[in-house]
Amino acid sequence: MVNTVESQDIIYVGDFSRDSEGVFRAVEEARINAGLGLKTGFLHLQSKGSQPTINGYVLQLLEDGSVAAYDPDELVSARLVILIDVERILNTRLAVPMRVISDQVIAIADRALTDEHMAFKNVRLREIFGDVVIWSATTYDVLSGLRAGGLKTTGTIWESFGNIGAVPKPQPDRQLSRQIVGTVVPSRKDHWPANADEIARIWDCDRYVVRVLGAAPDHPVAQGMDVTAVHERSAVQFVSGLDALVYYPNGRPSELPMLAIGTCLANDVPVLLPPELRHVVGKGPIYVGQEGVAATLARELGPDRNDSITSFDPAEAHFRRLQSWFGGVRGPRTSSRRTKRVMMFPSNGDGLGHVNRLLSVARRLPRDVEPVFVSLSQAVDLIRGAGFVSEMIVSHRYAGLDEAAAYPWMEAELADAIQRYQPGAFVFDGGNPYAFMTNVVAKRRDVRNIWLRRGMWRPDQNNETVIKKRRFFDAVIEPRDIAEEVDQGASRQDRDGVSLVDPILLLDNEQLLSREAARRELGLHLDGTAVLVQLGPGNTRDLSVTQGQIFRHLQALPGVQIANLHPAISRFPAVPVAGVKNIRGYPISRYLKAFDFAVSAAGYNSFHELAQSGVPTVFVIRMTKELDDQMARARYAERLGWAYAIDDSTMADLPQRFASLMDPAVRTAMTFNAERLAIGNGAAQAADFIAELAR
């Protein structure tokens, strides 16, 4: 047992002595991790009945230093733990408790779990790893089974693919001038059709070179096949020499060779499967009955086939998948792959809305597009803490200067930053483009300018001159608003040519902590009613009177834990209040499920994050000229039945609203109304759009 905590980016936990789909997938992902500069560990659990020796491909990784090896009794931490061959983990008797520390654990199932064992297995995993386990699967039918069993799952399957980038198109066999058709058969049982006639009809050894990775069929037809054992060649190496992969099992085997199938699909190698596997594997393969295999192969491998140059990059795809699991912290990226930069320029708002939206997009940019931030906001340290390059131009607000005095040197500093970073695109998030900014970007013909513009502008404001500033931009992206039905502002009338995306959120649903896990991290009692108060930083308006009234009414309720969010960019220290716990956390959306209800401002980010987590809310609104139409947004939520709207100048209804929210039945109904909105996350849509303009 070690006395210090080893730290890795990713730790895979499983029985690494086995020749299983899970082990082979972990090996390929570890190779990709190494190329990305991510530290990877393998924690080996010797399960009952398994071989005493470690899998040969795992040994290669250990020998070349791509992964570190750990025993169950070693204390180790990781940003993400991935469990493979889950049933083997659960069937392993440990001499000492496992000592893996991570707040994100994903259990990947390669085979279906029986209903009667599903709940028990989930409980056992949570006993070992804590209340942070999320399930996924490598096939759609297994994932559906996990969901039907009531387990918390990822949004989609965990795709399998290998670390070969683009599979080279093989040349025909020089001696026989035949193309190569392969299949992967982990074991004889269920992976071959029922009889020899079917095998001979599907795999024509006279017309093609037929290669098998794994076990040959128990029929004389196997004499015409080239058979390679799984320990002699990996699935990725095997498929790199194929013209097509043909897999026709007898029914639905318990475990499919998804690594081989996925690697072929990612690299434009045709995959032929029986139609009954369509609901298992999904889009990509060619589904055809046995009788149609010969004609399909002749068409796909004939002289008129449509060859394509694949743009799929396994490292990029795997990295983007990992980004969503790293809780806002970006992993290393290789600078050699960088081709373009995007400069993110958030406006200097009172809160974190503009910064939050751009961070949401930056985290989802593809690997060949590098985001850099130049900010007027005091959130520069927060941006850097999220792993991004960030510079700050001191705002005239903080310098105590008027625009006429400050804009010339602010313009010079921005022009200098653009010259140094040479971005392919410049993205401004704000309500009113600054004159010093448009003076700079309008002169740069080599930079595509994008305005990320949220809606719900105040209808009582004259924004005609602001709308006309569209002429300085090549594109406008608008994240949709749940309340856009009641949007009466100028931006709603100016949607011609605007690219609409789903509401932009920093975190996806699977990244949100459960109620218990969030309360533990925030230091709240696991039982009882907990309320979040988040009114903003108060940098441009005094919140003390409103906050005091809210605290006073909440303190009158029995057994309520009150948490007050003190934003990271507040210029004022948190004021201690008896019975109120001041918390600092970013992003707060990660912890929202800890709370039974919230008292909040109705800015774009707070509003949509509370809806995303299904938190019943009292929106307390003070309308000022700087804000969007938060009252309309809050009243729309009230109409939908998941929130209450209150003007902070007349808070007489506040005690009544709080009393109502103390009723669990009322909260349950309001949560249901919020969750049925099922809002998506448009951050990836915006990122893809921006990346295309930057390239």
pLDDT-derived band of residue 334, with 50, 70 and 90 as boundaries?
Answer: very low
pLDDT in tens, 161-182: 886 543 344 444 444 468 999 9
- Higher per-residue pLDDT: 678 or 617: 617
Contact (CB, 8 A) for 152 and 131: no
Residue 70 — left, alpha, or beta (φ > 0 → left; ψ -120 to 50 → alpha)? beta
Tell me the two tokens of residue 286: 């060619």
DSSP secondary structure, 167-219, as one string: PPPPPPPTTT---EEEEEESSSTTTS-SSHHHHHHHS-TTTSEEEEEE---SS
Q: Is the CATH code 3.40.50.2000 the one for domain 515-676?
A: yes
Instruction: Give SS3 for 305.
Output: coil
Domain ranges of the chain: 6-148, 180-300, 341-505+682-694, 515-676
SS3 content of the chain, % helix, strand, coil (to 5): 35, 20, 45
Pair of tokens at residue 218: 């128990």
Whether residue 107 has pLDDT greater than 50: yes
Mean pLDDT of 527-554: 87
* C-alpha distance from residue 466 to each of 427, 484, 490 (Å): 17, 20, 9
Specify the pLDDT at position 307.
46
pLDDT in tens, 2-48: 345 678 899 999 889 888 889 999 999 999 888 888 899 999 888 77
- Percent of the chain scoring above 90 in pLDDT: 39
Taking the alpha carbons at both ends of the chain, their separation in whole angstroms is 51
What is 6-148's CATH number?
3.40.50
Name, in order, each residue with C-beta under 8 angstroms of 554's C-beta and a sequence gap of 6 or more.
531, 533, 560, 562, 599, 658
- Contact assessment for residue 312 and residue 267, using Cβ atoms and an 8 Å cutoff: yes
Q: What local confidence, expressed as pLDDT, does residue 155 receive?
A: 63
Asked if pLDDT for residue 294 goes beyond 80, the answer is: yes
What CATH architecture does domain 180-300 belong to? Answer: 3-Layer(aba) Sandwich (3.40)
- Which tens digits make up the pLDDT trace of 236-263? 888 888 899 999 998 888 888 999 998 8
**Which architecture characterizes domain 341-505+682-694 according to CATH?**
3-Layer(aba) Sandwich (3.40)
**Structure confidence at residue 129 (pLDDT):** 77
Q: What is the pLDDT of residue 638?
A: 96
137: enclosing H helix or E strand:
strand 133-137
Mean pLDDT within 523-537: 92
The average pLDDT across 111-135 equals 75
